[in-house]
């Protein structure tokens, strides 16, 4: 499986954010998107996820087969928002996403163990702290299998221990043949990651 972006350019509100960006990612590879604020990191991730129509260029997934015909079908997208409902418990939130997204390699308790949230799984999501919310959102990546993780500032709000834990999760995802594209300002603890530096257009 291979993720390919060719000569990608995006506009927001009629303003060119970036142009001529291209990359290619093989199984087991990670790419860090770095650059100053406003350089277009999030825009690049959303365009890759298919949530934003690029002004030119294309993003494609090769070799996804029938299970993953498009990039969107093969991807988990973790944006700035956690995609969780504040009135539902952590467990209910995760079991909804597992049922909706399908293809569940882990049960929810096991996924919660991996992010250290099992003890508070019964609490409404809205009562959690920022870091705990982020960890619950990370657990969503684990409850259904997707080869490509698109992460936008994934460690925002995480403490040092949780960051280490998350690095380990990402490394084991890569070892299992996954791919990661992450927009970040901090090193994420993935040694083999290539860097795509976005500069102000």
Residues in contact with another protein by the rule CB under 8 A? 12, 46, 49-53, 69-70, 72-73, 75, 77, 79-88, 92, 95-97, 99-102
Closest to another protein by CB, 33 vs 190, is 33
Q: Please give the C-alpha separations between residue 130 and each of 142, 158, 185, 186, 188, in angstroms, as whole numbers.
A: 19, 8, 18, 18, 19
**Residue whose entry in the numeric block shows the structure tokens 């467990």:** 91
Give the nearest distance from C-beta 77 to another protein in angstroms: 6
Give the nearest distance from C-beta 92 to another protein in angstroms: 7
Closest to another protein by CB, 55 vs 187, is 55
Closest to another protein by CB, 151 vs 193, is 151
The token duo for 38 is 């406003």
The rounded distance, in Å, linking the Cα atoms of 109 and 6 is 40
Give the nearest distance from C-beta 163 to another protein in angstroms: 21
Question: Strand pairing of 56-62 and 2-12?
Answer: antiparallel
Query: Within the chain, what is the greatest distance between any pair of CA atoms?
Result: 47
Give the nearest distance from C-beta 83 to another protein in angstroms: 4
Closest to another protein by CB, 75 vs 193, is 75
Closest to another protein by CB, 68 vs 189, is 68
Give the nearest distance from C-beta 155 to another protein in angstroms: 17
Closest to another protein by CB, 82 vs 190, is 82
Q: Please give the C-alpha separations between residue 101 and each of 38, 108, 130, 172, in angstroms, as whole numbers.
A: 31, 13, 24, 21
DSSP type of residue 104: -
Give the nearest distance from C-beta 27 to another protein in angstroms: 20
The rounded distance, in Å, linking the Cα atoms of 84 and 105 is 20
Residue 75 φ/ψ, nearest 5 degrees: -115, 145
The rounded distance, in Å, linking the Cα atoms of 62 and 53 is 19
């Amino acid at each position: 499986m291979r993720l390919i972006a060719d000569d990608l350019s995006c506009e927001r509100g009629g303003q060119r954010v970036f142009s001529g960006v291209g990359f290619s990612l093989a199984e087991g590879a990670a790419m860090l998107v770095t650059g100053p604020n406003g350089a277009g990191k999030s825009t690049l991730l959303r365009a890759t996820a298919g949530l934003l129509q690029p002004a030119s260029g294309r993003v494609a997934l090769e070799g996804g087969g029938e299970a993953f015909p498009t990039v969107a079908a093969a991807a988990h997208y973790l944006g700035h928002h956690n995609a969780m409902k504040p009135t539902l418990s952590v467990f209910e939130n995760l079991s909804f996403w597992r049922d909706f997204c399908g293809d569940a390699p882990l049960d929810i308790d096991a996924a919660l163990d991996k992010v250290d949230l099992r003890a508070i799984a019964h609490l409404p999501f809205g009562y959690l702290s920022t870091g705990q919310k982020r960890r619950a959102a990370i657990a969503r990546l684990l409850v259904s299998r997707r080869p490509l993780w698109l992460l936008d500032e994934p460690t925002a709000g995480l403490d040092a221990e949780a960051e280490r834990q998350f690095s380990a999760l990402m490394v084991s995802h890569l070892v299992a043949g996954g791919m990661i594209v992450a927009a970040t300002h901090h090193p994420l603890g993935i040694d083999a990651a290539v860097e795509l530096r976005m500069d102000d257009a």
